[in-house]
Amino acid sequence: LAAAEFLAVDWGTTNRRVYAIGADGAVLATERDDRGVLAVERGAFPSEAAAIRARFGDVPMLCAGMVGSTRGWVEAPYLPCPAGLAALAAGLHWIDERTAIVPGLSVIDGKRGDVMRGEEIQLLGAVTAALAPHDALLCQPGTHCKWARMDDGRVASFRTTMTGELFAMLGKHSLLADFMHGAVHDGAAFGAGLDAAADGALLSPLFGARAGVLLGRMVQEDVAAYVSGLLIGSDVREQKLVRGEQVHILADPELGRLYATAITQAGGATKVIDSHAAFVAGIAAIWKEHHALA
Amino acid sequence: LAAAEFLAVDWGTTNRRVYAIGADGAVLATERDDRGVLAVERGAFPSEAAAIRARFGDVPMLCAGMVGSTRGWVEAPYLPCPAGLAALAAGLHWIDERTAIVPGLSVIDGKRGDVMRGEEIQLLGAVTAALAPHDALLCQPGTHCKWARMDDGRVASFRTTMTGELFAMLGKHSLLADFMHGAVHDGAAFGAGLDAAADGALLSPLFGARAGVLLGRMVQEDVAAYVSGLLIGSDVREQKLVRGEQVHILADPELGRLYATAITQAGGATKVIDSHAAFVAGIAAIWKEHHALA
């Protein structure tokens, strides 16, 4: 096994992924586990980092994501948008001489504010790896879906939607919970949810899904896909896409396909790009920028 | 104390209200408790009814609301819209010779279906008591908000929105939960939520409320009112009111005022009417219709 030049840790709320990265930016080893920020006791981050080094190599480490929040290892202040890779490299928050946290980004636009932690690496990585153009609209579906406008290779502004969190909450805690056990795929029920959302509705068809089951107009197995269509369709509608607008989607293939269908129906064009490749390109570029700065 | 002619029980999921009603339709006594359907064990409804009679009088009883659902005493089938007081009286579901459940209403409109249980009494009562005209749009805010179109004194169709349930869920289970302890009143934060909703957004400003607090743009005490404005504003926007359209609101004064502000901002006109008076007028009219039929 070739020696890693540095380790990159995508350290989120629930999950964590470690990449051992070589001098040429290639991934030598990677591993995903559930040691997200919420699973790590306060004060236990140094020993977690030591354990990662014991497994992947005793080399420098860049951490990104919620690890830099108040609930994480140490709080790394947000950098204001617009911000690019050079700003992230210059803003690395060093815990010791070989362990740093990548800052998150913030945007303040009139009365509106927004924040991200971790997603910025994928966004900027996608552009630096030419997976998306320097001026682009990027979408990262998930618990909190990010819609980012790139301008000249930097994150110009972004908007977060609570789409995935609402879906999970409805499936666990709402009066629809008992009905939301079905699989979500890009089929007729998902499309019916998109149709209702395109009509400008969300709060009414949500209840309608329950009524539909009670009245025998909808089978229970379709409820989860319908609700997913409603939420993703509403998410896309809120972005007010211009007809023909190209959206680059950073997601796993399954969720990426649902968003692609919703965006296409709303008149946009889509390209799904590999979010892991984007992350690796982004973090490798930050590492390189850091050394250029140093 | 004058003897009641019959007892009316507004028996919902969480709460229950009993009215002892005299021969002239006047309320002789009333009591609200938390013995809603979910608090009553299956099989315990007869003894609950006996306890009510022991307190209010050993007379006939009409029950309305979720007591007629699968989880209630016995299931009373939905009557299809359009439906008026005569149809409800004819459709009373008798458990024994002096205890009946008022059926709920359903609407099927193309692929859309909707249901209500209990609200129909207030809607039809408002019209029969001349609190609202025979052709009107009525709004009943709550966990599940009902928007009903009355035509010639009957419920022609209706639409349910999951507004109150979503608000409660966000306050308990979302990443906003820690911030939603503030009071909700018709002030600047509520208005800011309405503004964001009027712009067609919901999923993005929901997350924005958290970001606003993290970035020091919003005080935590305002989050609940802002989220309430977002949800109620979205609810009203989905109704696509015609400019100047009159909405009769059946609600307690506090919630009624929030909806009135949202409806006014959306270009509608409002009148808040007394939902208890409407319920009593409705159930008394059903009782009278039943005797006219018998």
- pLDDT single digits (tens) B40-69: 999 999 999 999 999 999 999 999 999 999
Q: Choose among B35, B28, B41: nearest CA to B71.
A: B41
* The pLDDT value given to residue B112: 86
Q: Is residue A2 predicted with pLDDT exceeding 80?
A: no
Average pLDDT over residues B176-187: 94
Could you report the per-residue pLDDT of B19-31, keeping only the tens digit for each? 999 999 999 999 9
Average pLDDT over residues A277-291: 96
Percent of chain A with pLDDT over 70: 100
**Residues A268 and A245 sit within 8 Å (Cβ to Cβ):** yes
Sort B288 into a burial class: Cβ within 10 Å, 0-12 / 13-18 / 19+.
middle
Could you report the per-residue pLDDT of B75-127, keeping only the tens digit for each? 999 999 999 999 999 999 999 999 999 999 999 988 789 999 999 999 999 99
Q: To the nearest whole angstrom, how far is the Cα of B150 from the nearest Cα of chain A?
A: 18
Could you report the per-residue pLDDT of A92-128, keeping only the tens digit for each? 999 999 999 999 999 998 878 999 999 999 999 999 9
Q: Choose among B141, B139, B126, B118: nearest CA to B255.
A: B141
Contacts with B174 from chain A: Cβ below 8 Å: 162, 165-166, 169
Q: Is residue B219 predicted with pLDDT exceeding 70?
A: yes
**Residues B282 and B270 sit within 8 Å (Cβ to Cβ):** no
pTM of the model: 0.94
Q: Is residue B1 predicted with pLDDT exceeding 90?
A: no
The count of C-alpha atoms lying within 13 angstroms of the C-alpha of A226, restricted to the half-sphere facing its C-beta, is 27
* The pLDDT value given to residue B177: 94
* The pLDDT value given to residue A294: 72
Q: For residue A184, what is the DSSP state? A: P
Q: To the nearest whole angstrom, how far is the Cα of B70 from the nearest Cα of chain A?
A: 10
Contacts with A106 from chain B: Cβ below 8 Å: 211, 215
Q: Is residue A153 predicted with pLDDT exceeding 80?
A: yes
Q: To the nearest whole angstrom, how far is the Cα of A53 from the nearest Cα of chain B?
A: 32
Categorize the per-residue pLDDT at A1 as very low, low, confident or very high, splitting at 50, 70 and 90. low
Residue among A113, A206, A217 whose CB faces B212 most closely: A113
Question: B119 CB contacts (<8 Å, ≥6 apart)?
Answer: B140, B146, B148
Two structure tokens written together for B7? 């007892």
Cis amide prior to B82 (ω within 30 degrees):
yes
Contact criterion met (CB < 8 Å) for B203 and A161: yes
* The pLDDT value given to residue B109: 86
Compute φ and ψ for B282, nearest 5 degrees.
-70, -45
* The pLDDT value given to residue B2: 75
Average pLDDT over residues B255-266: 97
| ipTM computed for the complex | 0.93
For residue B161, what is the nearest residue in chain A, using CA coordinates?
A204
**Residues A28 and A66 sit within 8 Å (Cβ to Cβ):** no
Higher model confidence: residue B1 or residue A137? A137
For residue B165, what is the nearest residue in chain A, using CA coordinates?
A174
Average pLDDT over residues B248-267: 96
Taking residue A3's Cβ as centre, other Cβ atoms within 10 Å add up to: 11
Q: Choose among A116, A165, A121, A126: nearest CA to A142.
A: A165
Could you report the per-residue pLDDT of A68-91, keeping only the tens digit for each? 999 999 999 999 999 999 999 999
For residue B110, what is the nearest residue in chain A, using CA coordinates?
A217
Taking residue A243's Cβ as centre, other Cβ atoms within 10 Å add up to: 8
Contacts with B203 from chain A: Cβ below 8 Å: 145, 161-163, 166, 231, 234-235, 238
Could you report the per-residue pLDDT of A158-172, keeping only the tens digit for each? 999 999 999 999 999
* Whole-Å CA distances, B196 to A10, B19, B103, B231: 33, 41, 39, 10
Residue among B172, B211, B237 whose CB faces A160 most closely: B211
